[in-house]
Amino acid sequence: MGYRLCSFSPVFCLLSLLLLLPALAPAAEFRLISDSILRGFESNTREGDDFALPVYEYLQAEVGETGPLTFHFYGWGRLDLADSEYFAAYYGDSTAGELLYAYAEYRQPDTSLMARLGRQYIFSGVTSESIDGLRLDTDLTPLFTLSAYTGRPVSLDIVDERDEEILVGGRIAHHRRDLYEIGLSYRNLETGGGRESVGIDTAFFLPGGVDFSGFSAYDLGGDGWGEHYYEARFDLGPLRLRPFFERYRYEDYFNAGDNTGGPFIFLAEIGETLTVFGADALWNRDDWELGVKGKYYDYDERGDSSFFLSGLATRQLEGLSQVGGELGRMEGDGSQDDYLLARAFVYWDQIPPQRIFHFLTGDLVYVLYDEDIYDEDDSLFLSVGGGRRFMDDRLELRIAADYSYDPYFDDDLRGWLLAQYTFDR
């Protein structure tokens, strides 16, 4: 196999053992969801045509539902049945996989204490990171919430000699959940080359359906505010308005030390600051949603600006059935940044059960570029699909076919087949 499921072996072994417990305790609640996806496409390379037939398996397991102790697992793997050059050239191997999370969770009854041990995703305050480690959450009196975590960032386990670094962090928040919340968060990647930062997040819920909320992050290593993100929400009955403001100082925002992805490293050195002003408005009446969104981008160093405006409309029909469309225009200071985007979609599930398909789908995306890219000025993506359920809805088969062309590829045809099976006890 050309991949590692988990590099934090002791935790993985322990959790694997814990996940086996349901086999020994037949009364434990257990839910397993398997998504198997088969794709087929032809890749046109300089060496000639190459056909790829990758199969993906996504496996999710939840053990225990009502008890204080539960177990959670989610991972994926890929095998190219055609052993094509495409995956070997693009990803370095015909097989791949990733353990996205695998953790044990304990919730103390009648309190708010929660503990998680294992591979898990932390999305709290200044941290958005997957770690192999421990997390503790609890309320401290009715007015305070505390979260603390430590572990090894999963993102670093492919970096040479960096797979033993430890991330520590936490967030404490003061709140009245119906009036306001103020949170202070901290994260530090231990040992050199890491990133130490603090964040403050606020939310104020005012009378008249008005909310103000925002987040700011300060990079302690670079000594500067890397991110500001603030918005207001106005509830005017069927109409909701949301003006927002964002500001990013590249030197601090893109500076995550050795935890910065390669393509973004140079951005921390160009001295740029991006400011974004924008607003969106949504009108909701009966089954219709009509929305407009505008964003203005301004750069301190580049001295130019860009503007994006889009409008969308969706109509909710019976069940999950929906039909909708969107039209958007991006305009920069130069025509190289200008394009027009149009999208239309449909999802229809009001089909008699005796028919072949229980639901049908369609999606079309068209983009027109003001300036040619590789001598082409437009791209088209069209997808049609459908699905059917079996075995009391435990098994669902979905199929789709795509046609597309764009400046990079002519006349792409792709097939997609998904089998989803849900087992629970």
Partner 1 sequence: MANKSVMWLAFLLVSLALLAACATLQGGYQLPAEHPEALGAGRPTCTECHEARGEQFNYQRYDHSVFFTENHLLAARQGEQVCAMCHQTSFCNDCHATRVELKPSERHKTETYRRMPHRGNYLARHRIDGRVDPTSCFRCHGNPKTARTCSPCHPN
Window 16-75: residues binding partner 1 (CB under 8 A): 37, 56, 58, 60, 62, 72, 74
Subset of residues 192 to 231 that bind partner 1, contact rule: CB under 8 A: 201, 203, 205, 209, 211, 213-215, 227, 229, 231
Q: How does DSSP assign 346-358, residue by residue?
A: EEE----TTSS-S
Q: Does residue 146 bind partner 1 (CB under 8 A)?
A: yes
CA 275 to chain centre: 23
Subset of residues 251 to 290 that bind partner 1, contact rule: CB under 8 A: 253-254, 256, 258-265, 267, 274, 276, 280, 282, 284, 289
Q: Does residue 78 bind partner 1 (CB under 8 A)?
A: yes
| Residues 137, 124 contacting (CB under 8 angstroms) | no
In which residue are the tokens 């005012």 written? 206
Q: Does residue 314 bind partner 1 (CB under 8 A)?
A: yes
Q: How does DSSP assign 67-92, residue by residue?
A: SSEEEEEEEEEEEETT--HHHHHHHS
The minimum distance between CB 11 and partner 1, in angstroms, equals 15
Subset of residues 387 to 406 that bind partner 1, contact rule: CB under 8 A: 387, 398, 400, 402, 404-406
Member of 22, 125, 133, 194 binding partner 1 (CB under 8 A): 125
Q: Does residue 361 bind partner 1 (CB under 8 A)?
A: yes
Which DSSP symbol is given to 411?
S
Member of 20, 25, 81, 158 binding partner 1 (CB under 8 A): 158
CB atoms inside a 10 Å sphere around CB 99: 23
Member of 41, 86, 186, 339 binding partner 1 (CB under 8 A): 339
Q: Does residue 163 bind partner 1 (CB under 8 A)?
A: no
Subset of residues 80 to 119 that bind partner 1, contact rule: CB under 8 A: 90-91, 96, 98, 100-101, 107-108, 111-113
Q: Does residue 236 bind partner 1 (CB under 8 A)?
A: no
State phi, psi for 374 to the nearest 5 degrees.
50, 45
> What would the two tokens of residue 344 be?
């239309």
> What would the two tokens of residue 271 be?
């001295």
Three-state DSSP at 94 gives coil
Q: Where does residue 269 rank: exposed (0-12), middle (13-18), buried (19+ CB within 10 A)?
A: exposed
Per-residue contact track with partner 1, 317 to 336, x per CB under 8 A?
--xx-x-x-----x-x---x
State phi, psi for 263 to the nearest 5 degrees.
-60, -15
